Structure 1
Amino acid sequence: MPKYRKKPIIVEAVKLTRSITVETSNGTMKGLPGDYLITDENGEQYPCDRDQFEADYELVKGQIHLKELFQKSFMFLKTKIYKT
């Protein structure tokens, strides 16, 4: 999952593709397509309006995306297995 930085806090976030409802410590919150679902450093999740998110957060550079790394490694191994 990509990581984003809220100056100076780092959170994980994904852009929503459908409407969701999330129970938070502040009550029930609704996220709409295009909004972001944030997971903070305590593990709590909450939706954030796209415009507000993009104003407050920036993508953390130089991070390792494990999912992409595993996919590339699997494809490399798969290619080597078929060639031998």
Structure 2
Amino acid sequence: MLTEFDSDYLRRIAAGCLPGLHRDRVYGIAYEIDKAVGRTEDAPAVPDDAPPASAVGRYVKRPVIIEALRYDGTVAGSITVLDWIGDAAPDGRADNKGGILTIHTLEGDMVASPGDWIIRGVQGEFYPCKPDIFEATYQLAPDPTQEA
């Protein structure tokens, strides 16, 4: 059963991740969900501050601090990951077969290969990230205990 939380979630994903036409389609789906659950007065199809779908814009990723560790593909590395994610993984399980670590998440099974980074996102979610994407996206954050 769909709820207003589903439409809110779709809007957050669309606003943060999707370009023009795709974003507008997702907003349309969210609006249809709102109509189905009787919440249309306060649910605009597209936010007022969203650029038009035909406009190309330049964006900078918001500076957020995440936690991450590099998975080495070993059983010991898998244990380290499992100890770290603990109960935060939706079903609390992960499998290691042949150095490939499968983390079960709400979005489905996500596979981490040796060398991938395991990230705890801003909402506490865990997911793997390929090394080249990680290096292009993140840099080491200052240690808050060392700040004066």
TM-score, with normalisation over the residues of structure 2? 0.37
Q: Report the RMSD for the aligned CA atoms in angstroms.
A: 1.9
Structure 1: which 4+ aligned runs deviate by more than 2 Å?
62-65
Q: 1:27: how far off?
A: 1.1
Residues 18-43 of structure 1 deviation map (CA, whole Å, 9 limit, x = unaligned): 13111222211100111100011222
Q: Which has a greater percent of helix?
A: 2
Supply the AA of the counterpart residue of 1:54.
Answer: E
Q: How many residues align?
A: 60
Q: Is residue 2:130 matched to residue 1:49?
A: yes
Contact 1:36/1:50 (<8 A) preserved: yes
- Indicate yes or no: 2:121 matched with 1:40: yes
TM-score by length of 1: 0.62
Unaligned runs of at least 5 residues, structure 2: 1-60, 74-99
Unpaired stretches in structure 1, ≥5 consecutive residues? 1-5, 66-84
Specify which structure has the higher proportion of strand: 1
The structure having more radius of gyration, on CA atoms, is: 2
Alignment of 1:1-84 (within 5 A): 7-18=62-73, 19-64=100-145
